[in-house]
Structure 1
């Protein structure tokens, strides 16, 4: 596999992506904002660069120092943050990627984004609505770019190991749960699948939940 540049690696899903890719032998480059988050990633063999995705110059410097044949993955999110990174950060990442030969990009958002907004409950819209709307704007910016993109919308994220049972859906109403480790496995799978270019998928895991597909 080509080297991977990873945004959002310091914790949560992004950290599990870094761990899974390193376990698969991939060379991983990650930009993190807080120095204290770097040590554990470096112990895994991740090449860490300090930077802030809200600063275009940080993204530019990070990508300038990354291999030209890399593929990009982003799990960035900022639920209830004072300055959300979901749209602004992703827009800068997408714009910088378009200036380079790094064409392949997988962006992780969430169920409820884009055309799946109507499937969110009123409660979910009240709690997560602003974050989902920011992510939806990022999806729109990406789908109108020149990148070889794939968008992945996971269900509710859980702690736990890889199950190998996660399912992808590209139409209909989807609800469910999935572990962060299993999402990492599915991202790896999608990077290796040229047929996934230009596609938007939801993903959940039947091991943890009953899916509703209509």
Structure 2
């Protein structure tokens, strides 16, 4: 049984992921949330919630990793904040979580990034701070020594999942993917150690998620 700390569990992907982990027999999710009032949403489902800010210290985050086997970082500053919060949450918050995991011996770390984060030529000008933050968070994780997987989905949609993705042609149309399928990819990655050390770029497609991850 893997105890998985979901950082950003109250977000859209994080909430879907927490539900899927809770329903699975191999995982026990622990929700890391920013606001105490969000805890009720998880406790009603029987999911433990821990409250912390990604602007806290590394030591503070490390205290919340007690008893944890894997960390999933799916937090983000959101579209209504400025570049300052993108820097402190999407980049520095992610790196502090990596440092906290390293300091507590939590080796497994899954980071939710974005399609084309590794290709500067494809960054839209209006979203450049976001892509810069994701790019360097990805690079820091690759150099962290952790058993990492980086998940880079296309544009996120609030639609029912299809259970299928495309990793072979993520740059072709369509470039979007339901958030539910992103959550399913993360669950599959956590259960498949062959995904360690891999970067998974994907959008909606016709390949079953389990098959796509197994083929990495």
TM tier, smaller: 0.7 to 0.9
C-alpha distance after superposition, 1:60-106 (max 9, x if no partner): 2211xx315x1111111114344230111011111111112210111
Residue 7 of structure 1 contacts residue 73 of structure 1 at CA under 8 Å; is this kept in 2? Answer: yes
C-alpha distance after superposition, 1:5-33 (max 9, x if no partner): 11011121111111111121421112111
- Aligned partner of 1:119 among 109, 114, 122: 122
Secondary structure, aligned partner of 2:2: coil
C-alpha distance after superposition, 1:106-140 (max 9, x if no partner): 100111312x33234xxxx2222111111111111
Distance, in Å, in 1 between the alignment partners of 2:29 and 2:38 is 15
Residue 174 of structure 1 contacts residue 202 of structure 1 at CA under 8 Å; is this kept in 2? Answer: no
Secondary structure, aligned partner of 2:150: strand
Aligned counterpart, 2:131: 132
Aligned counterpart, 2:60: 58
Identify which range, 79-88 or 101-110, moves more after superposition: 79-88
Secondary structure, aligned partner of 1:3: strand
Secondary structure, aligned partner of 1:52: coil
Aligned counterpart, 1:211: none
- Aligned partner of 2:96 among 92, 99, 104: 92
In the alignment, structure 1 residue 45 sits paired with structure 2 residue 24 = no
Unmatched segments (≥5 aa) in structure 2? 207-216
Displacement after TM superposition at 1:174 (Å): 5.1
In the alignment, structure 1 residue 27 sits paired with structure 2 residue 31 = no
Residue 74 of structure 1 contacts residue 106 of structure 1 at CA under 8 Å; is this kept in 2? Answer: yes
Secondary structure, aligned partner of 1:10: coil
Distance, in Å, in 2 between the alignment partners of 1:112 and 1:129 is 12
Displacement after TM superposition at 1:172 (Å): 7.0
Aligned counterpart, 2:171: 173
Distance, in Å, in 2 between the alignment partners of 1:167 and 1:194 is 20
Secondary structure, aligned partner of 2:104: coil
- Aligned partner of 1:102 among 81, 106, 112: 106
Secondary structure, aligned partner of 1:157: strand
Unmatched segments (≥5 aa) in structure 1? 208-214
Identify which range, 18-27 or 131-140, moves more after superposition: 18-27
Aligned counterpart, 2:9: 9
Distance, in Å, in 2 between the alignment partners of 1:62 and 1:35 is 14
User: How many correspondences in the alignment?
Assistant: 198
* CA spacing shift, 1:172–1:43, aligned 2, 3 Å: closer
Q: Give TM-score scaled by structure 1 length.
A: 0.85
* CA spacing shift, 1:96–1:119, aligned 2, 3 Å: same
